[in-house]
């Protein structure tokens, strides 16, 4: 399960060979995959773990006593233990497997219906992904609670924390925010935000979709109540994600979905719930996905998350500095410390045209609103182009990006 390099000094270019998909050409050019914010590619060890599971161990979990069921259950629960270790949870009972970040956030929003009332407030930020906004809009509607926003400063994409104490004082019961913004690249001061929420008796929810696979994440150091992320954005399979919740909170909460596996006993007229985390995992889970996620976490840790964070951030800062020289460009997010992505607008060239233009040179970018429509509305631009980086990307690929953006600016300008 070790990547093909010495972990003390990662050979980033050599790591590319761990990812079979990256060897191909697109439109006659070697593929440059810069859409990692949407989903990352998968290393061979992850793909092989899925094949191995289905070829040797596949059975349902928690319900059979035969050998294969035992193996599948063991593998599934081993993945849970590994996730707990990966984010430094106090117990593996605090790890709920979900389909992804979106489902984890919906789980909280749904179960919090009985915990909020008119006059209460939910606090989020102006930089939310729709996944960390719409569930709270609906929760507010169901309960009569108000939805409040921490403002974003402007194009530099920082949270304006000057008024946060006043916001939290407005009866805020839950504060949700992204650890890293998927469009601005901003790394928010998550530890401080969780502490502020706690001081006001509010539950903190960290959207770690863009951070969990890119930097060390320690839920106890952060002091968060909930933290959600997606396996597919961190070298793992699609369809598997994690919701971390503080044990006491999870125990107090009502179930989300109901059915098999989440019950302790069922009678015709009522049921009692299984203990956490199983209370929140109704039905047959994505067992293979959990196995694949386990392999992905091992892979990332063999390289080292601090090294990955430094690598991605360096590529993003280089790209940011060099894109600034393109005529007519408008860059978003902080110019210094940032996560591994860059978003920009180009005068005279719409994001979709830029993406099509780059795609013809084999470079995969993302164009559009990136699921943060209200933010772009505030900043007065409908669509932007995003390049998002991961451990297999190289400075030579950033060179190709800079070249194609200069050419696109000329072509459409």
Partner 1 sequence: MDLTELYQSVILENNRRPRNYRKLPEANRIASGNNPVCGDEITVFVQLDGDRIADISFQGAGCAISQASASVMTQRLKGRTLAEAETLFGRFKEIVTEGKPDDEDLDLSAFAGVHQFPARIKCATLGWHAAINAVHGDSVTASTE
Ligand X SMILES: Cc1ncc(COP(=O)(O)O)c(C=O)c1O
Catalytic residues: 371
Does position 410 bind partner 1 by CB under 8 A? Answer: no
Nearer to ligand X, 131 or 385 (CB): 131
Between the two ends of the chain, the Cα-to-Cα distance in Å is: 48
Q: Pick the piece of the chain touching ligand X (CB under 6 A) from 11-19, 98-106, 262-270, 299-307.
A: 98-106
How many residues belong to the site for partner 1 (CB under 8 A)?
Answer: 19
Pick the closer one to partner 1 by CB: 62 or 369: 369
Tokens of 210: 């863009």
Rule CB under 6 A: is residue 125 a binding residue for ligand X? no
Q: Nearest 5 degrees, angle CA 151-CA 153-CA 156?
A: 135
Q: Report yes or no: 400 and 32 within 8 Å, Cβ to Cβ.
A: yes
Cβ proximity to ligand X: between 37 and 362 the closer is 37
Which residue is it, tokens 């960290």?
Answer: 206
What Å distances lie between residue 30 and 13, 21, 162, 235, CA to CA?
14, 11, 47, 21
Helix (H) or strand (E) holding 54, with range, is none
Q: Going residue by residue from 335 to 374, which x/- string records binding to partner 1, judged by CB under 8 A?
A: -------------xxxxxx--xx--x------xxx---x-
Site mask, ligand X, residues 127-166, x = CB under 6 A? Answer: --x-xx----------------------------------
For residues 217 and 349, which CB has a smaller minimum distance to partner 1 in the complex? 349
Interstrand relation of 203-207 and 226-230 (parallel, antiparallel or unpaired): parallel
The footprint of ligand X on residues 393-412 (CB under 6 A) is none
111 binds ligand X, rule: CB under 6 A: no
Q: Considering only 95-103, 146-154, 258-266, 388-396, which stretch makes contact with ligand X by CB under 6 A?
A: 95-103
Quick check: helix, strand or coil at residue 216? coil
Of 48-56, 70-78, 99-107, 250-258, the window that binds ligand X (rule: CB under 6 A) is 99-107
C-beta of residue 331 within 8 angstroms of C-beta of residue 155 = yes
Pick from partner 1, ligand X, none: which does 49 bind, CB < 5 to 8 A by kind? none
210 makes contact with ligand X (CB under 6 A): yes
Q: Which of 253, 262, 297 is nearest to 43 (CA)?
A: 297
Q: Which is nearer to partner 1, 54 or 411 (CB)?
A: 411
Q: Rounded to an integer, what is the distance from CA 308 to the centroid of its chain? A: 15
Q: Three-state DSSP class for 254? A: coil
Q: Reading across the β-sheet that carries 95-98, which strands appear in turn?
A: 95-98, 241-245, 226-230, 203-207, 172-178, 121-125, 146-150
CA distance 359 to 195: 44
Interaction between residue 124 and ligand X (CB under 6 A): no
Give me the residues that bind partner 1 (CB under 8 A), please.
Answer: 27, 348-353, 356-357, 360, 367-369, 373, 376, 382-383, 411-412
């Amino acid at each position: 399960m070790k990547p093909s390099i010495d972990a003390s000094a990662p050979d980033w270019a050599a790591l590319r060979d761990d990812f079979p998909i990256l060897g191909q050409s697109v439109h006659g050019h070697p593929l440059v995959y810069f859409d990692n914010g949407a989903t990352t590619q998968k290393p061979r060890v992850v793909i092989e773990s899925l094949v191995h599971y289905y070829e040797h161990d596949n059975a349902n979990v928690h319900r059979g006593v035969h050998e294969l069921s035992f193996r599948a259950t063991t593998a599934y629960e081993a993945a849970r233990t590994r996730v707990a270790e990966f984010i430094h949870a106090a117990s593996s009972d605090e790890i709920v497997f979900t389909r992804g970040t979106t489902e984890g956030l919906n789980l909280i929003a749904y179960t919090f219906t009985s915990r909020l009332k008119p006059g209460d407030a939910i606090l989020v930020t102006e930089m939310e992904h729709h996944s960390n906004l719409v569930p709270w809009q609906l929760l507010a509607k169901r309960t009569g609670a108000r939805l409040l926003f921490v403002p974003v400063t402007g194009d530099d994409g920082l949270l304006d924390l000057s008024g946060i104490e006043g916001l939290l004082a407005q009866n805020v019961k839950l504060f949700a925010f992204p650890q890293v913004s998927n469009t601005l690249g901003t790394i928010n001061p998550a530890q401080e935000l969780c502490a502020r929420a706690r001081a006001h008796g509010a539950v903190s929810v960290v959207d770690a979709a863009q951070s969990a696979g890119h930097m060390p994440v320690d839920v106890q150091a952060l002091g968060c109540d909930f933290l959600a992320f997606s396996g597919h954005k961190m070298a793992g399979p699609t369809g598997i994600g994690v919701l971390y919740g503080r044990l006491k909170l999870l125990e107090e909460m009502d179930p989300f979905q109901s059915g098999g596996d989440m019950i302790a006993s069922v009678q015709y007229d009522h049921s009692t719930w299984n203990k956490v985390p199983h209370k929140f995992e109704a039905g047959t889970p994505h067992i293979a996905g959990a196995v694949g996620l386990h392999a992905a976490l091992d892979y990332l840790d063999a390289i080292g998350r601090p090294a990955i964070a430094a690598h991605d951030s360096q590529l993003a800062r280089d790209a940011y500095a060099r894109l600034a020289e393109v005529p007519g460009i408008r860059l978003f997010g902080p110019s210094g410390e940032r996560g591994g992505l860059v978003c920009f607008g180009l005068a005279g060239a719409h994001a979709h045209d830029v993406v099509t233009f780059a795609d013809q040179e084999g470079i995969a970018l993302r164009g559009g609103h990136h699921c943060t429509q209200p933010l772009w509305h505030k900043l007065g631009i409908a669509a932007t182009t995003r390049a998002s980086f991961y451990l297999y990307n190289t400075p030579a690929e950033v060179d190709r990006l800079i070249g194609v953006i200069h050419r696109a600016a000329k072509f459409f300008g």
